Structure 1
Amino acid sequence: MSQQHPTEYYRTTSSRVGKMLAIMLGICIVGGVIFFAFWDYWISEPPHVVSVMAGDVDHSGPAEATGKTITQDLQFLESADFRSLTFNAMIDEPGVNPTIEMSVGDKVVFNVVNDGMSFHAFGVTKDTEGFGGIIPGSEVALPTNPLKPGESGTAEFIAGEEGTYYYICTVPGHRDQGMVGEIIVSGSSGPAVAADPTGVSHEFTLDFVESDDFRT
C-alpha cells in the first residue's frame, strides 16, 4: 500500500497582499516622478553630433552674401480651440504662413512675436517634417526655453544652396498643427566678381603666317 503525502498549500494574508501592492504603487510613483522631472530632456532636440549622424543638419555651409537683405515679420497665432497654429493669419485668411522667395547668398531677417497664449520657438530647417535639423543662427528661443506670450526675438538666415527650406515653430507638435512656411531659394542673383590678380605673368610670341594662295 503506497503512502500518500498530503498536498501543501501556500497561503498568503491580506496584509502581505497590501504590502506588495504598496511596493508596486511606490515603484510606479517614483518612475513617474523621474519621467516628468526630465520632461524637458525628452522633448528637446538631439545633440548636434546625433543630428549630424542622423543626416538631418544642413551641410551646405555658409554662402557668400549678395548684400541683399529681406525682412520678414512673423506673428505666432492660435485658433480659439488651439487646433490650428499659424503665422500672421489664420487658415484660409490672406497672408497666412507667407512664402519667402530669395536667392543663394541673400539674407532674411526674421522678426518674430508671440501673439498667442501658448509657448512658441522658431527656427529654419530643410527637413520636410518634424522639428529637427534647425540651421544654427536661425533660432529664436528653444523648445525647452520658449517665447512666452508677448515676447519676441530676431534671427537671421542665409541659404547656402538652392532648394526649399521651412521656417517652423520648433515646439514639438506645433509644426504639424500648421506653424510652417516655405522659403524658396533659387540660384545666386549676386553680381559677377572679377578674380583677384595672382601676380603671375606669361609672354607669348605670335607670327602671322599665310599660305601661297592667301586662302589660309
Structure 2
Amino acid sequence: MADDPNDPIYRTTAARTGKMMAIMLGICLAGGGIFFGLWDYWISEPAPVVAMMAGEGPVETAVELSGRDIDVSLSFIESEDFRVLAFDALPGEPGSNPTITAEVGDRIRFDVVNDGVLFHAFGVTADEEGWVGLYPSSEIATSSNPLLAGESGTSEFIPSEDGVYYYICTVPGHRIQGMVGQIIVGDAEAPAPEG
C-alpha cells in the first residue's frame, strides 16, 4: 500500500525540537553571561588599529640627554569607597599626585607600586585628558594586562621639549577619578586646576 501524498512526513518529534531549543537557549544565556560579565574588559581600550589609523600617539624624537636623572617613586592608592584614586596620598593630604619638575633631556625614572586593591597601569602623555597618546618607554602594564595589588614596575620618560606632561593611570576612568599628576618641563606654565 503506497503512502498517501496528503499525509505529512515528520522529520523529527516535538520532544526533540524542544530539546534543541533548550540547548540553543542555554548556549545563548551562557554566552551573554560571559560577554556582559566581562563588559569592562571589552570596552577597556580601543583596538590598536584605531589609534594607528588615527595617527595618535607621540612621535619619539632624538633628544640630547642632559645627564641628570630624576628618580620618582609612586604608589597607586584608593579611597575606601573606591570613588577617589590618586598617587601617594588622597587629594587634600600632603604629597598627593606630586608635581615633577624637569628640563629637556632629563631622564625621569618611575618606580611604581600598586598599594591599592584595584588593578592599575601607568604611562606618561601630553594629552590633557583621556588615556591614549602614551610615550612608549613610559608605560608600565596596560589596562588589559594591569598591575594587580602588590605588583610593581619601572619605566622612564625623557622629555624632548618644554611643556606640561601628565603621568596617569591608563585604566579607563581612573584618570578622571584623580589618578593624574603633572610633569612641568622647562619654563612651561602649569594649567590652572578646574573647579
Q: Distance in 1 between matches of 2:107 and 2:63?
A: 10
Normalised to the residue count of structure 2, the TM-score between the two structures is 0.75
Match in the other structure for 1:43 = 44
Match in the other structure for 1:67 = 67
**Preserved CA contact (<8 Å) 1:104 1:185:** yes
Q: Does 1:85 align with 2:85?
A: yes
Listed one character per residue, the Cα deviations across residues 49-108 of structure 1 (whole Å, up to 9, x for unaligned) are 532442431125132111111111101010000000000111101110011111111110
One-letter amino acid of the counterpart of residue 68, structure 2: K
- Correspondence list, 1:1-216, <5 A: 27=28, 29-34=30-35, 40=41, 42-47=43-48, 50-186=50-186
Match in the other structure for 2:8 = none
Give the CA RMSD over aligned residues: 2.7
Name stretches of at least 5 consecutive residues in structure 2 with no aligned partner. Answer: 1-14, 188-195
Q: Distance in 2 between matches of 1:51 and 1:75?
A: 28
Instruction: Work out the percentage of aligned pairs sharing the same amino acid.
Output: 52
Q: Distance in 2 between matches of 1:69 and 1:84?
A: 31
Normalised to the residue count of structure 1, the TM-score between the two structures is 0.69
**4+ runs deviating over 2 angstroms:** 21-42, 49-56
- Residues 34 and 81 (structure 1 numbering): CA distance in 2 closer, same or farther, change over 3 Å? closer
The alignment partner of 2:137 has SS state of: coil
- Residues 78 and 39 (structure 1 numbering): CA distance in 2 closer, same or farther, change over 3 Å? closer
| Deviation, structure 1 residue 175 | 0.6
**Preserved CA contact (<8 Å) 1:131 1:172:** yes
Residues matched between the structures, number? 170
